[in-house]
């Protein structure tokens, strides 16, 4: 009887624990699928723009159920950052001359999307390393948080979205004041994996160096050239980063337009993970070339 009672008790415990398993398994499977659901080969930007909000909201909803899912956290942070840059902020630039008020509304929306992306990314880093944000703001380098190799992508999107948010928050000094922390975060990630994203992380450091007060244009140029080399010349984004953050401020129209034309000349191989990013950047390159007379 004792043995039977013990077996029954164990069975009840197993059944109680197992009752949650199907739901957890479904959430976990959805999180895995959403995190790996690549849209890198999709080059129809209008289709992507229409589909992205549903995908982002669904991913965000699943992430709330499984907040420790690192890959989905990175995917959500990346998705909001890319959507803000490729569609919302870009549209603001396009309509600025015709409707300044509408452009400002779009910039404010883009800033909120960048902030949202940053919040997701930092929450993921904080969950993995409690006290991460506080340590990042520490006065001593020895106190700054370590970043593990599997966290480099998440750190990149945290820094990139932070930079986007800061760039659109000129009237919010408390946000702008965090630029050194965004730079520090990118540097910490780069120290772990300087080749991440085929030079994407290196290019971000170049953009930060060119934009930060007291930044070195020489160092920025070195980052941009390294980023282009790391991509094998196949990243339109690396070329545009150098064009907009280095050649344009220097007033070098010839180099600016040459870099944009190089970006337009890139042809992606079938299934290239850079296809989507390159199409976004080619569209921007065409627009910038059309505006060259206004920019110089």
- Residue 282 and residue 6: Cα distance in Å, rounded? 68
- Residue 293 and residue 261: Cα distance in Å, rounded? 16
Q: Which pLDDT score is estimated for 18?
A: 47
Q: What share of the chain is helix, strand, coil (3-state, %, to 5)?
A: 80, 0, 20
Backbone angles phi, psi at 235, to 5 degrees: -110, 115
Is the pLDDT at 172 greater than 50, yes or no?
A: yes
DSSP character string of 227-241: HHHHTTT--HHHHHH
Of 24-33, 139-148, 208-217, 242-251, the range with the lowest mean pLDDT is 24-33
Q: Which pLDDT score is estimated for 48?
A: 87
Tell me the per-residue pLDDT of 195-234, one tens digit each, with 9 for 90 and over. 999 999 999 999 999 999 999 999 999 999 999 999 999 9
Count CB neighbours of 267 within 10 A: 8
Confidence band, pLDDT 50/70/90 cuts, at residue 99? very high
Is the pLDDT at 29 greater than 90, yes or no?
A: no
Is the pLDDT at 176 greater than 70, yes or no?
A: yes
Q: Which pLDDT score is estimated for 268?
A: 86
- Residue 245 and residue 204: Cα distance in Å, rounded? 10
Tell me the per-residue pLDDT of 58-81, one tens digit each, with 9 for 90 and over. 999 889 988 888 999 999 999 999
Confidence band, pLDDT 50/70/90 cuts, at residue 270? confident
Confidence band, pLDDT 50/70/90 cuts, at residue 41? low
Judge residue 215's burial from the number of C-beta atoms within 10 Å of its C-beta, 0-12 exposed, 13-18 middle, 19 or more buried.
Answer: middle
Is the pLDDT at 19 greater than 70, yes or no?
A: no
Q: Which pLDDT score is estimated for 7?
A: 47
List the one residue out of 191, 196, 182 whose CA is nearest residue 136.
182
- Is residue 242 a contact partner of residue 228, using CB atoms and an 8 Å limit? yes
Is the pLDDT at 42 greater than 80, yes or no?
A: no
Region 87-106 average pLDDT: 97
- Is residue 121 a contact partner of residue 74, using CB atoms and an 8 Å limit? yes
Region 8-15 average pLDDT: 41
Q: Which pLDDT score is estimated for 101?
A: 97
Domains of the chain listed by start with CATH number = 44-192 (1.25.40.920), 194-296 (1.25.40.920)
Is the pLDDT at 271 greater than 90, yes or no?
A: no
Count CB neighbours of 175 within 10 A: 17
Q: Which helix (H) or strand (E) holds 260?
A: helix 253-265
Count CB neighbours of 8 within 10 A: 10
Provide, rounded to the nearest whole percent, the portion of the chain with pLDDT above 70: 87
The chain-wide mean pLDDT, for the chain, equals 89
- Is residue 254 a contact partner of residue 262, using CB atoms and an 8 Å limit? no
List the one residue out of 280, 292, 282, 290 whose CA is nearest residue 247.
292
Buried b (16+ CB within 10 A) or exposed e, 95-127: eeeeeeeebeebbebbbebbbbbbebbbbbbee
Q: Provide the whole-model pTM.
A: 0.89
């Amino acid at each position: 009887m004792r043995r039977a009672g013990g077996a029954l008790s164990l069975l009840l415990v197993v059944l109680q624990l197992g009752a949650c398993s199907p739901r957890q398994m479904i959430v976990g499977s959805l999180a895995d699928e959403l995190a790996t659901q690549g849209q890198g080969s999709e080059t129809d930007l209008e289709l992507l723009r229409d589909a992205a909000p549903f995908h982002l909201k669904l991913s965000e909803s699943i992430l709330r159920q499984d907040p420790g899912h690192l890959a989905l956290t990175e995917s959500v942070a990346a998705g909001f950052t890319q959507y803000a840059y490729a569609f919302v902020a870009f549209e603001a630039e396009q309509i600025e001359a015709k409707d300044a008020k509408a452009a400002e509304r779009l910039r404010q929306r883009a800033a909120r999307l960048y902030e949202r992306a940053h919040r997701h990314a930092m929450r993921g880093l904080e969950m993995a390393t409690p006290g991460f944000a506080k340590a990042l703001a520490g006065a001593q380098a020895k106190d700054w948080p370590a970043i593990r190799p599997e966290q480099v992508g998440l750190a990149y999107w945290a820094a990139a979205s932070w930079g986007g948010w800061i760039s659109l928050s000129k009237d919010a000094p408390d946000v702008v004041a965090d630029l050194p922390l965004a730079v520090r975060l990118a540097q910490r990630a780069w120290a772990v994996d300087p080749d991440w994203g085929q030079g994407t992380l290196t290019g971000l450091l170049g953009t930060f160096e060119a934009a930060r007060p007291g930044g070195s244009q020489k160092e920025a140029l070195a980052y941009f050239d390294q980023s282009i080399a790391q991509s094998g010349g196949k990243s339109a984004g690396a070329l545009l980063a150098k064009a907009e953050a280095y050649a344009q401020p220097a007033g070098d129209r010839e180099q600016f337009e040459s870099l944009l034309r190089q970006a337009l000349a890139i042809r992606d191989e079938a299934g290239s993970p850079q296809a989507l990013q390159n199409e976004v950047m080619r569209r921007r390159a065409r627009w910038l070339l059309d505006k060259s007379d206004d920019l110089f």
